[in-house]
Amino acid sequence: MKFTIQVNEGPYQHQSADTAYHFAKAALDKGHEIFRIFFYHDGVNNGTRLTTPPQDDRNIVNRWSELAREHDIDMVLCVAAAQRRGIVDDGEAERNGKDATNIAPGFRISGLGQLIEGGIESDRTIVFGD
């Protein structure tokens, strides 16, 4: 089955970032396909490489990046949500005159159309959040 996953909550603040990850991993392990993981609302904070959790805790951001690398998953941060919350890639830094970037490997910033497309192209769209 082909899934699109939407993550609406930030890492560490809310369990949905963890649950979405575990769901994605379990689906892949079962041989399912993930068309896209779309991060919205505070969920875009899953995609900043500047997080530094305590050493004895899970590293949620790195975990996503590794999942994307291992399984070649398309992970998209909503551009409007990312701009509000200061998640920046090279293109956004240039467009908006920012002096730094913080996007983590494996993520890209794009529009909400990517979420709708995921809903159209996938067999199931699963939303994680409140």
Whole-angstrom distance, CA of residue 99 vs CA of residue 76: 22
Whole-angstrom distance, CA of residue 14 vs CA of residue 7: 11
86 binds other proteins (CB under 8 A): no
Quick note: the x/- pattern for other proteins over 94-113, rule CB under 8 A, is -----------------xxx
Strand partners, 124: 3
Q: Which of 29, 56, 99, 130 touches other proteins (CB under 8 A)?
A: 130
- Which among 25-33, 52-60, 86-94, 118-126 is the span making contact with other proteins, rule CB under 8 A? 118-126
Taking the CA atoms of the chain, what radius of gyration do you get in angstroms?
A: 14
Minimum distance, C-beta of residue 57 to other proteins, in the bound complex (Å) = 26
Task: For residue 60, give the nearest of 74, 71, 44, 72 by alpha carbon.
Answer: 44
Q: Which of 3, 7, 8, 77 touches other proteins (CB under 8 A)?
A: 8
Whole-angstrom distance, CA of residue 76 vs CA of residue 36: 7
Give the interface with other proteins as residue ranges (CB under 8 A).
Answer: 6, 8, 40-41, 80-81, 111-113, 115-117, 119-121, 125, 127, 129-130
